[in-house]
Structure 1
Amino acid sequence: MTTAAKARHIPIRPEWLAQHVEAPIEPDFPIIDAHHHLWDKPGARYLFEEMAADLASGHNVVATISAEGKTGFWTGGPEHLRPAGETEMIAALAQRCVAETGSRVRIAAGIVGYVDLSVGQAAGDALDRHAEVSGGRLRGIRDTSAWHADPEARGSVILPPPGKLYDPGFRRGLAELTRRNLVFDAWMYHTQLNELADLAHAAPDTRFVLNHQGGPIGIGPYAGRRAEVFDDWLYFMKKLAGFDNISVKLGGFGMLMSGFPFAEHPVPADSSQLADAWAPYMRACIELFGAARCMFESNFPVDKGTASYCTVWNAFKKIVADGSPTERHELFFGCANRTYGLGLELDETIPRAAGSEASGR
């Protein structure tokens, strides 16, 4: 696996983000952030302190799911076991969160690690190693399959081989994951969604979570073709919705891949602008899969290049402001809690929308 020659992440600009600050909508509404990263890469540190600062912006995030980011690997030992170093690193950060005096958020309550499933049965040993070092937090694996022949269409810095999900070795590795009752996080572009349909048909006992609402591309050859891409994307999302073992993460539109120009604006967009742009995709997912199979994700720090943590969650709340209390509970808490087996319980009943503040656009 190689990295794409051209970086595909929008840089984080604290001074630019500081130009627009919002108060959190419904600050008491409980949230599980279903997808973020923790890493220390050149020029891109996002560890305990950085995430804690974002979490302090006012929303009631009670727990998070940390997704792999290809960092912190062990430098020795069998190659297929080395990625467990990242899981060990994140588990240590999670333990620090628990130990922090007054810490109210369970950062990395669930961990989605990385294993190269194409090693086949040997993936079982790797999965067991992740579980050993995770402190009981391992909930799934993400083995990215996002591939496109045109480099200008690629929205990921990772370039896996084409047709990864069809590889017999990969499918044997996936069977090892399924035996351990782990979730498979699927990250691909909208042009590959039929590959997931084929995989879900072949592996009905595997639980799949499609990342970033299926990766509709808005850059390169797809720039200026949003309506056409939406129709193509919707066709395959309707097909995927027919598989009961697939859930969807709603988020990631702050990435360069989406083609939304907000990062180019002199002042950051407000939550209403973001909600207007993102709503057609997210509402379509909720309509197709149902709220019980959809969960919101920040995708931080990647999406921080487009908007602040508080603004992103305000946008999500505006997108589903007209949903029932039960539906909104599922989208922000229930689906992630159940899918990743966090076992969290709320002390209070499902909160209801707080009138005009929750529903204003």
Structure 2
Amino acid sequence: MKIIDAHMHFWDLEQNYLPWLCDPRPLENFRYGDYSALRRNYMPEDYRKDAEGFDVVGGVFVETEWDPSDPLGEISWVKGVAMRHGLPSVAVGQAFLDRVDAPGILAAYGADPFVKGIRHKPRAAPRPDAVEAGARGSMGDPVWRQGYRHLGRNGLSFDLQTPWWHLGEARALADDFGDTVIILNHTGLPADRSPEGISAWRSALRLLAGAPNVRIKISGIGIPGQDWLVEANREVVLTAIEIFGTGRAMFASNFPVDSLVARYRDIFNGFDVITSDLTGDERDDLFWRTASRTYGVAV
């Protein structure tokens, strides 16, 4: 099974400034807990070692929370990486949609065929009952939405990383800006695996999937302190596929971040086992074809 990895990261901490990895004080409440193991360079040669034995034919680089004062610098750097190493195939850049420089940044990305979209993590509430409609920096913030408007004008997609309790706002965004494709990152972050948590996540996913311009990355579903097991993740994977269909779903490693909770082979062998009853065409969608279509990765 060939793979287009729909979500990968590279960084060189000796050359570049990524605050969350370079600053002495770590982020609070990082979803996988202690991430000190990530404070090292991670380049395509490291990725290929992790992915040894798998036929990775392309990959989508997603912004790494690079120095926020220089979003375009990350794209310049990663294009050089791609030229030297053959990975990544395309990139999703950093932008801050509620900043005054957003229109110029997005115009620059739109003029660069290597850049297919952007990611800006909107402000999120810590739990479902704390959601505040229209909060500053959220998907409902008029200033944030004004910046979002420039994505469609520049032919860019939007990688959305947010917990499932904000997917109602995401649906409104998808409806209001139908010319912009939204790619939900990390399966909507179903961290609560209780029956109640899974039920609420499933309902939110169904709401979002009702918009035809939304895709989903099945990734980032590791559980801190536990091995990545088929038994633990089968329901999440199959639910996402059932709701979105294989034509709008894609698999991704989220490496090296998910190396905190799993080996590369655990993740992709797990995806293989979980989808073993699907047709060859459906599996092609999930492992490479949806990513190819969504991000314009030639195979």
TM-score clears 0.5: yes
1:86 aligns with 2:74: yes
Paired residues of 2:190 and 2:221 also in contact (CA < 8 A) = no
Percentage of pairs with the same residue: 33
One-letter identity of the residue aligned with 2:275: V
Is the contact made by 2:167 and 2:207 (CA closer than 8 Å) also made in structure 1?
no
1:179 pairs with 2:143 = no
SS in 1 for 2:139: helix
* Per-residue Cα deviation, 1:107-138 (whole angstroms, up to 9, x for no partner): 11110011001136x42211233456x6x310
Alignment match, 1:9:
none
The 5 Å alignment of 1:299-310 reads 299-310=254-265
TM-score using structure 1 length: 0.70
Decide whether aligned partners of structure 1 residues 162 and 44 sit closer, same or farther in structure 2, where only a CA change above 3 A counts.
Answer: farther
**What is the number of residues matched between the two proteins?**
269
Q: Which has the greater radius of gyration?
A: 1
Superposition pairs of residues 56-205 of structure 1, within 5 angstroms: 57-71=52-66, 79=69, 82-98=70-86, 107-119=87-99, 122-130=101-109, 136-145=113-122, 147-149=124-126, 164-205=138-179
Deviation at 1:163, TM superposition (A): 5.5
Which residues of structure 2 form unaligned runs of 5+?
14-20, 23-38
The Cα RMSD (Å) is 2.0
Structure 1: distance between partners of 2:171 and 2:6? 22
2:201 aligned residue: 233
2:285 is the counterpart of 1:326: no
Match of 2:43 among 43, 47, 50: 47
Corresponding residue SS for 1:44? coil
Distance 1:178 1:53 in 2: 37
Helix, strand or coil at the partner of 2:291? helix
Contact between 2:165 and 2:204, CA under 8 Å: does it hold in 1? no
Matched position secondary structure for 2:99: helix
Distance 2:182 2:80 in 1: 26
Asked whether the equivalents of residues 88 and 130 of structure 1 are also in contact (C-alpha less than 8 Å), the reply is: no
Secondary structure, aligned partner of 2:88: strand
2:231 and 2:43 mapped to 1: Cα distance?
A: 31
Write the distance in 2 (CA, Å) between the matches of 1:319 and 1:278. Answer: 9
Which residue of structure 1 lines up, in the alignment, with residue 34 of structure 2?
Answer: none
Matches within 5 A, 1:167-316: 167-218=141-192, 226-254=194-222, 259-262=223-226, 269=227, 274-316=229-271
Structure 1 unaligned residues grouped into runs of 5+: 1-28, 74-78, 99-106, 154-160, 219-224, 263-268, 346-361
Give the secondary-structure state (helix, strand or coil) at the position aligned to 1:181. Answer: coil
